[in-house]
Amino acid sequence: MEKGCAGYIKKKRSRNLAIILAFAVVIMGLIIAGLILFKTKNNYCTLLAVVLCLPAAKFVVNYIVVKSAKPINKDFLEKLNSIDNAFILYDLIISGQSKPESVEAAIINGNNIYLYSKKINTKDSIITDINKFLKNVKINANINVVSDNLKFIEIAKNKSVDKNDIALIKKSEYVKKEFLNMCI
């Protein structure tokens, strides 16, 4: 499942948990095998187990970040899916300088990005982080954060892209691609 699809957060949670459990089994297996084979804790199996703790820790941190993210509500998702020709992304975790922020949905219309989340604590901080990231790829974006789902649905209806406007579609696709690059 790709970033920006509904259900991404749940899928990422379960994938990370499975990887963490696999690492735990392999690490414990190596430690036990080393103790049985070499009859001491100072052996190559233990060394390999310790080295494997670093990539395992990466997945643990990622799991903690994803665990705190809130997936999109199913009723709200159905309402947004009924809107034609809108560039809507779902279940995003935006990595910022201060901390990752969970965004339930985002609309991209050219250089305009509308974020929907009831959980964003510091709107100015996330807007600054996104603008800074996008300016590095030469995109000057107008970012708005909305916490009211009815207002967000209205924005989605008003910002749907005309199928005949090729330039706007290409611009929206480019902004979408670069915006997803800053998401976990």
Query: What is the mean pLDDT of the segment spanning 149-178?
Result: 91
Pairing of strands 101-109, 112-116: antiparallel
pTM of the model: 0.87
The pLDDT tens digits for 66-116 are 998 989 999 999 999 998 878 899 999 998 887 888 999 999 999 999 999
Amino acid at 37: L
pLDDT for position 121:
67
Distance CA 2, CA 132 (A): 24
Residue 165, token pair as written in the block? 């406007």
DSSP, collapsed to helix, strand or coil, labels residue 180 as helix
Distance CA 130, CA 143 (A): 8
- CA 111, 134, 100, 128 dihedral sign is negative
The pLDDT tens digits for 34-56 are 999 999 999 999 999 999 999 99
